[in-house]
Amino acid sequence: MTTARFEPFFARLAKTRAGAWAAPLRRLTHERLHPARHGDLPAWLAALAGLPAIAAGEVRLDAACVSVAPQATIDAAARAALHAGLAALHPWRKGPFCVHGVTLDAEWRSDWKWSRLAEAIAPLDGRLVLDVGCGNGYYGYRALGAGAALVLGIDPTLRFVLQFLAVNRYFGEDRLAVLPVADRDLPAVDAAGAFDSVFSMGVLYHRRDAAAHLARLLQALRHGGQLVLETLVLDDPAPDSGADRVLYPPGRYARMRNVHAIPGTTALAHWVAAAGFRRIDVVDITRTTSAEQRSTDWMRFESLDKCLAPDDPTRTVEGHPAPARALLLAERP
């Protein structure tokens, strides 16, 4: 039973300040991973079940490539089964992972984003972390590698949950889970004040109601806890406007259908302040490049280079400013 794999994590969660969330999250996880919930789920579960047993190896969570290295030679059949099982969960958006000799080069060099934030955020030692929209859990592993005590990752995209279960079969990490849950599903039972750090990276612009998303992040944090917010911003405000401008793409943005708003950094800071945060600090703005986000063998669909104007890489194909991402830190009072 797939959900049984989360039991050691739930047992740990139950003993934390967020313990009241363990039972409702277990119930939601069980419902969402029912094979009838998604047409592809039976195939993904079969891929998971077909992954070969390999003896535990040496795990490195503090390296760019989150890795587990074999202790002994792995035979060719097991290596091929491992590769096939992971490939069945294509596309891999976040990584890299190095799993028993298979280098999973994902669409994003997620280690670059981690490098940008690692020195800027409050040290994670011993912290209880919530990662909202965590993808396959890459950053959760890095947070553990940086000393976090427990990381609850949530992401409603089932494929990413299955990717986590696949790699975690070999990392054997029960201080991290990626649960099939959206921000709006976070339990109503009171875990307010529970988390020391809350990450929301690459999610805000996908939320129609940005204020509601920020309110949930605030509520999950303990007083004095840190918000780590990463989102698309305008680092190229139009000449007749300032950093308080907000772009509401009328159609697609960089070919994405579900981008609702891209603020300038001043507007973004206002939103975060209005949600009740203080000590707001934009610590990094980085224009996304085709070196950081690109097609690979593990993500064979189109990537950033096809979303930018062929004659002007500072614009998207729709004529908007090209993607730039801000990293904003803030505190719950």
Q: What residues make contact with ligand SAM under the rule CB under 6 A?
A: 94, 110, 132-135, 154-157, 160, 182-183, 201-203, 206, 230
Q: What's the first-to-final CA gap in the chain, in angstroms?
A: 42
Least gap, CB of 132 to ligand SAM (angstroms) = 5
Nearer to ligand SAM by C-beta: 26 or 113?
Answer: 113
CB 195 within 8 A of CB 222: yes
Nearer to ligand SAM by C-beta: 116 or 315?
Answer: 116
Nearer to ligand SAM by C-beta: 156 or 193?
Answer: 156
Least gap, CB of 186 to ligand SAM (angstroms) = 9
CB 59 within 8 A of CB 171: yes
Interatomic CA distance for residues 92 and 65, integer angstroms:
14
Nearer to ligand SAM by C-beta: 2 or 163?
Answer: 163
Q: Of 149, 139, 123, which Cα lies nearest the Cα of 202?
A: 139
Interatomic CA distance for residues 4 and 18, integer angstroms:
20
Token pair of 18 as six digits: 């967020």
Which stretch of DSSP H or E encloses residue 327?
strand 324-331
Least gap, CB of 159 to ligand SAM (angstroms) = 9
* Helical ranges in 172-312 per DSSP H: 210-220, 265-274
The CA R_g of the chain, rounded to the nearest whole Å, is 20
Nearer to ligand SAM by C-beta: 105 or 244?
Answer: 105
Interatomic CA distance for residues 211 and 207, integer angstroms:
9
Interatomic CA distance for residues 231 and 285, integer angstroms:
10
Least gap, CB of 225 to ligand SAM (angstroms) = 18
Nearer to ligand SAM by C-beta: 100 or 109?
Answer: 109
Least gap, CB of 112 to ligand SAM (angstroms) = 10
Per-residue DSSP letter, 17: T
Least gap, CB of 127 to ligand SAM (angstroms) = 17
